[in-house]
Structure 1
Amino acid sequence: MDNKAYGARDKRGYWKPARRPKRAPIFVWPAQPKAFLLWLFGYLKYNSPYVLISLLTWKYLTPSLATMQEFSVDWISLIFLRNAILTIVVYGGFHLVLYIWRRQETDFKYNVKWPDTSNSTFLFGSQTAENVLWTMCSGVPVWTAYEVFTWWMFANGYIPCIDIGDHPLYFVVLMSLVPMWHSLHFYMIHRLIHIGPLYHIVHKVHHHNVNPGPWSGLSMHTFEHIIYFSSVLIHFILPSSPLAAMFQLVRSALSPVLGHLGFDRVIKDEKTSIDTDNYYHYLHHRYFEVNYGADLMIPLDEWFGTAHDGTTEADQAMYERIKAKKYTRGGSR
């Protein structure tokens, strides 16, 4: 297909999309009603698969709350197995199509290099092997632990639970705000674990992935998994529903795959491709000290001066900011 319609490679061979990351219209003034409606449609469309997976998982693959009033190896094992299979299908599926079959080769790939297979930075020298290990042996167990504890709390009435039929409007608003809360929570914890010692102890594992792939999304140190999945704890405070908590956990667990595909677009057929909308986070992996948020849904990076949209102007602003920071640390002359 005609790649030039969507972007081009720079002099160093990195793919740069023509479309730049922009803040959501809800944070633009004066108001732009048409832009807001288009954004809202995209917002609902983007999150609908996670809502559907959450609904089906809760209805067909989760024991009843009555069963989960007491901890039991049986139902806990079921949830762990379900989460592991879901992770393999989603993360492994994207990896299979884009990195093993290489169905579109390097078309729309930000970095033309493939994952490292002989790099001592990674366990076993393999980027993919390390990513899979952290995801399956740490990410899935931590996700499962939070989920098990959440269901046990709901089942025993230790946290406020609403009846959807009695509060339908509140439930819709709650579900609509889950992605917003995820975005805010991610930014706060991400800034935190970029601080000195915390970075080296907790976050460095994830940043091994300068050239991320699908399995990089949940490739984190266990401490980071514990902090990352803690977003579900908001449902322990606000009156909520198990379905809303499920949506929170499913979105937290599965959305990182899109943020780390390494491809700007996924080709559907000769004339159609799908925008993965992950350039914003890819730039964080490439430049490290920019774009701490997962996206610009809430433009915190713009407000705090750490946004990067991929332009040469943003490059210059970043270098000036880093230079100023080093100068300040070194003291005045």
Structure 2
Amino acid sequence: MAHDFANDAEAERWHYRPPHPLTLNPLFNWPLRPLAVAQWYRGAWLKITALTVPFVIAVAIWAFVLPPLEQMQRFQIGWVATVWMMNVIPQTLVAGGLHWWLYMRKGQGMRKKFDKRDLTRKNGSFTFNNQVLDNIWWTLGSAMSVATVYQCLIYWSMANGWVPVIAFSERPVIFILLLAAIPTWSSLHFYWVHRLEHHPRLYKHVHAVHHRNVNVGPWSGISNHWFENMLYFTTYFVHLVVPSNPLHVLFHSYFQQISPVFSHCGFERLSVKETEVAKSGDFFHQLHHRYFECNYGTSEIPFDRWFGTFHDGSADGTARTRAHKKQMYTR
């Protein structure tokens, strides 16, 4: 099986493809294999990943930057501007830093780059005729604006006592479990919103802005139409229902905003010289950008396997996806 996968036709379509078929979270396999589940979550939480980087940023901002809730009982330009900068600055540093290292300095060349092509310039399908400038505009102009509005509404509601707020000192176990549950909730929410956005009308007028990025880069992560961002960031509204803390909101925010920078960066691993320092790109989602009608969700919850749209990176996966797409458009 491994030999067939390594030499099938799909390998020819990529500069680099993972050496084995993609796997999904073993938590949902039966019979349950506790060791495999432990290894999955160890890889997510105990290494430099698209999960741990947002978590570290969230803790730092929570400890040193976020205004106290008492200041957020009324909307004032000072704290609202702080929330906006708390979004824009980390997003710019991470997306801009990865873009500089991978695509400007070319610090690791083509090492573990999925697509053979470079990012697009002088292309009229993009705003400003440039893929990177287009992505920066839709990220900082659209995504950061919508995210800031939603986050300010949540902080304001917490400050006024309209939603329950918990503290680590009072309920430490619940506090930690809620942090751990955020990626799972994000995955669940993303799948269903994303499937909605692939409805022909929403796709044509809204989601197509994101899918102009067939060959993705760091700034592509949340380069979305305004309406798509209004749907995408509704994931934050769970904090209006479930008792939580501003730290939960921050972690949720950075996970939702910064993890797509990594998953869209186009390289499976980040390397310095010959040393791999972090897991970055997500071939699971890279396949979605290449073939569109597959891998709508994430590998965290296997919705795509349950609903028959999982592409594992093989030539057979491409054949299944194309058959599914043909069926969709001939109904």
> What TM bracket, shorter-length normalisation?
over 0.9
CA RMSD of aligned residues (A): 1.7
Q: SS where residue 20 of structure 2 aligns?
A: coil
Aligned residue in 2 for 1:191: 195
Mapped partners of 1:19, 1:276: distance in 2: 17
Structure 1 unaligned regions, length at least 5: 1-6
| Post-superposition CA distance 1:205-248 (Å, at most 9, x none) | 00000000000001100111111111110111111112111111
Mapped partners of 1:296, 1:182: distance in 2: 12
- Superposition deviation, residue 287 in structure 1: 0.2
For 2:261, give the aligned amino acid: V
Q: SS where residue 109 of structure 2 aligns?
A: coil
For 1:196, give the aligned amino acid: P
Aligned residue in 2 for 1:242: 246
- Alignment: residue pair count: 321
Mapped partners of 1:279, 1:147: distance in 2: 30
For residues 41 and 10 of structure 1, do their structure 2 counterparts lie closer, same or farther at Cα, with a shift above 3 Å needed?
A: closer
| Post-superposition CA distance 1:128-155 (Å, at most 9, x none) | 0100011111111111111111111110
- State which of 291, 296, 320 in structure 2 corresponds to 1:287: 291
For residues 303 and 68 of structure 1, do their structure 2 counterparts lie closer, same or farther at Cα, with a shift above 3 Å needed?
A: same
- Superposition deviation, residue 187 in structure 1: 0.4
Mapped partners of 1:232, 1:42: distance in 2: 25
Mapped partners of 2:24, 2:12: distance in 1: 28
Aligned residue in 2 for 1:40: 41
Alignment of 1:162-181 (within 5 A): 162-181=166-185
Aligned residue in 1 for 2:66: 62
Give identity over the alignment, percent: 36
Mapped partners of 2:59, 2:328: distance in 1: 47
Would you say the 8 A contact 1:268–1:274 is kept in 2?
no
Mapped partners of 2:176, 2:293: distance in 1: 36
For residues 174 and 268 of structure 1, do their structure 2 counterparts lie closer, same or farther at Cα, with a shift above 3 Å needed?
A: same
Mapped partners of 2:91, 2:63: distance in 1: 18
Mapped partners of 1:289, 1:281: distance in 2: 11
Asked if residue 278 in structure 1 is aligned to residue 279 in structure 2, the reply is no
Mapped partners of 1:11, 1:292: distance in 2: 23
Q: SS where residue 267 of structure 1 aligns?
A: strand
Aligned residue in 1 for 2:3: none
Aligned residue in 2 for 1:311: 314
For 1:33, give the aligned amino acid: P
Q: SS where residue 224 of structure 2 aligns?
A: coil
Runs of 4+ in 1 over 4 A off after TM superposition: none
- State which of 318, 323, 327 in structure 2 corresponds to 1:324: 327
Mapped partners of 1:324, 1:55: distance in 2: 47
Alignment of 1:101-120 (within 5 A): 101-120=105-124
Mapped partners of 1:165, 1:237: distance in 2: 21
Q: Which of 274-283 and 184-193 deviates more?
A: 274-283
Alignment of 1:176-255 (within 5 A): 176-255=180-259
Alignment of 1:65-76 (within 5 A): 65-76=69-80
Q: Which of 83-92 and 186-195 deviates more?
A: 83-92
Aligned residue in 1 for 2:152: 148
Q: TM-score, normalised by structure 1?
A: 0.92
Q: TM-score, normalised by structure 2?
A: 0.92
Aligned residue in 2 for 1:159: 163
Would you say the 8 A contact 1:134–1:218 is kept in 2?
yes
Q: Which of 53-62 and 126-135 deviates more?
A: 53-62
- State which of 298, 305, 317 in structure 2 corresponds to 1:302: 305
| Post-superposition CA distance 1:177-210 (Å, at most 9, x none) | 0000000000010000100111112101000000
| Post-superposition CA distance 1:107-137 (Å, at most 9, x none) | 2211121111111101121000100011111
| Post-superposition CA distance 1:255-298 (Å, at most 9, x none) | 110110011222233243643250000000000000001x2110
